[in-house]
Amino acid sequence: MVFLNIWFLASFLLSCFPIGFGRLFLNGLLFPLVLINLLSYKDVALKFQTSSWLIILILAIASPLSSIHIFTARINETKKQNPWYYLPLEIKAGFEFLEKEKNSNGVLALPLLSSYIPAWTGKNVYCGHKDQTPNFEEKLAKIINFYSGKFSLKEGERFLKDNKIDFVAYSQEEKQLGVLNYPFLKSSYKNEKIEILKKRS
């Protein structure tokens, strides 16, 4: 039990460190917490003067309720078209286009798309998941400036070149920031939900 408590405290303290992936240490809390709970059943049963098997039976009945709730929530989200749960088929088609582009570097997109792009296309992104991207806030600010048109033509082209970005994703989320009007970009793929622009050589 001492070892499990140390494991729990160490993982919790590491998750508090001011580093991008610090919160990933929270995943390490699940296993020791389950073991601590299992080992505590006997103490709880003695305290309430009941059988430990009765507590286990109650938990066995109650536990599936959380799974049912999560499953129901996922089904309900299909009606809301929440892209954090389910991507539109048009976005998937854009990803398939990117995946076929073999001789290319990174892709620029806002956090929603950039969280999916590496897994779906095998391409790098300038700014991905918040917990796994160093200097996330600084990079996000530059992305917003790019899509908002706040970069001059020279600054925008230099930004893509310095960060080895060949493609720029332009979905509904990015369109909310402004209209892309950089002559060094050309449209390579487009459908109703997403446009993929390529940096001119």
| Last residue within a domain, chosen from 36, 52, 80 | 80
Token pair of 89, please? 């088929």
41 and 130 fall within a common domain: no
Write phi, then psi, for 126 (nearest 5 degrees).
Answer: -65, -40
Q: Could you report the per-residue pLDDT of 100-159, keeping only the tens digit for each?
A: 988 778 999 998 899 899 989 989 999 988 777 888 899 999 999 999 999 999 999 999
71 and 97 fall within a common domain: no
pTM of the model: 0.67
93 and 182 fall within a common domain: yes
Lowest mean pLDDT among 30-39, 90-99, 137-146, 188-197: 30-39
171 and 97 fall within a common domain: yes
15 and 101 fall within a common domain: no
Write phi, then psi, for 14 (nearest 5 degrees).
Answer: -65, -35
| Last residue within a domain, chosen from 80, 114, 130 | 80
Domain with 43 in it: 2-80
Number of domains in the chain: 2
28 and 55 fall within a common domain: yes
| Last residue within a domain, chosen from 52, 80, 108 | 80
Q: Could you report the per-residue pLDDT of 37-79, keeping only the tens digit for each?
A: 777 766 766 666 666 667 667 777 777 887 888 888 877 777 7
DSSP result, 84-129: TT---HHHHHHHHHHHH--S--EEE--HHHHTTHHHHH---BSS--
Q: How confident is the model at residue 30 (pLDDT cuts 50, 70, 90)?
A: confident
108 and 166 fall within a common domain: yes
Measure CA 9 to chain center: 26
Which candidate, 63, 135, 51, 146, places its Cα nearest to that of 107? 146
